[in-house]
């Protein structure tokens, strides 16, 4: 499966989906996250880190740090391209050392550095549809990302869909 959407009716559903992504994540996975300010990108990253058996309390918005690393089941690299003025500033962060490889990379505002993403990556667009409601669209670019999308689609359903 290459595309999948999920409508979360609560913060708990969004959090659960992030945890699931963390549980299914494999070394080398790159997740390119986009969405408006306040869409919940960093909140989602916290949930992914928790699913990767890391400490969600370690996660803060990297807006002013640009790149953070967390200890989890696999190393987690968390970047934020919001404040980057040029793509060269992204290259100055040394992505060849942490993009892909043996860790999981989560990039907020990834649309600003899309040309530097690996061919195999998972795109995630978070859209606010209400105070706690979110529409999450996953787009797989490559076989590893497609495998993750399939696992999410098969194992994650909004509470309202469960019987």
Letter string b/e over residues 4-40, b meaning 16 or more CB atoms within 10 A of that residue's CB: bebebeeeebbbbbbbbbbbbbeebbbbbbbbeeebb
Q: How far apart are CA 2 and CA 68, in angstroms?
A: 29
Q: How many CA atoms lie within 13 A of 92 on its CB side?
A: 8
- What pLDDT is recorded for position 66? 83
pLDDT along the chain (163 residues), means of 10: 92 95 96 94 95 90 76 93 79 77 92 90 97 96 96 80 39
- What pLDDT is recorded for position 163? 37
- The pTM (predicted TM-score) of the whole model is 0.91
- What pLDDT is recorded for position 161? 42
Q: How far apart are CA 122 and CA 120, in angstroms?
A: 7
- What pLDDT is recorded for position 101? 83
List, in order, residues 6 or more apart from 155 with CB less than 8 Å away.
20, 24
As its CATH architecture, domain 3-116+126-151 has 3-Layer(aba) Sandwich (3.40)
- What pLDDT is recorded for position 137? 97
- What pLDDT is recorded for position 159? 52
């Amino acid at each position: 499966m290459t595309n999948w959407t999920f409508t979360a009716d609560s913060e708990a559903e969004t959090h659960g989906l992030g945890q699931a992504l963390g549980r299914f994540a494999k070394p080398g996975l790159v997740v390119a996250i986009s969405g408006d300010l306040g869409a919940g990108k960093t909140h989602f990253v916290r949930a992914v880190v928790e699913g990767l058996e890391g400490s969600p309390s370690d996660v803060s918005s990297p807006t002013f740090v640009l790149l953070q690393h967390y200890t989890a089941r696999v190393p987690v690299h968390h970047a934020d391209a919001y404040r980057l003025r040029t793509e060269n500033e992204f290259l100055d962060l040394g992505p060849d050392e942490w993009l892909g490889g043996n860790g999981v990379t989560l990039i907020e505002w990834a649309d600003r550095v899309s040309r530097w993403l690996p061919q195999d990556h998972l795109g995630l667009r978070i859209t606010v549809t209400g105070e706690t409601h979110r529409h999450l669209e996953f787009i797989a670019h490559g076989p590893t990302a497609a495998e993750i999308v399939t696992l999410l689609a098969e194992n994650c359903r909004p509470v309202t869909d469960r019987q």
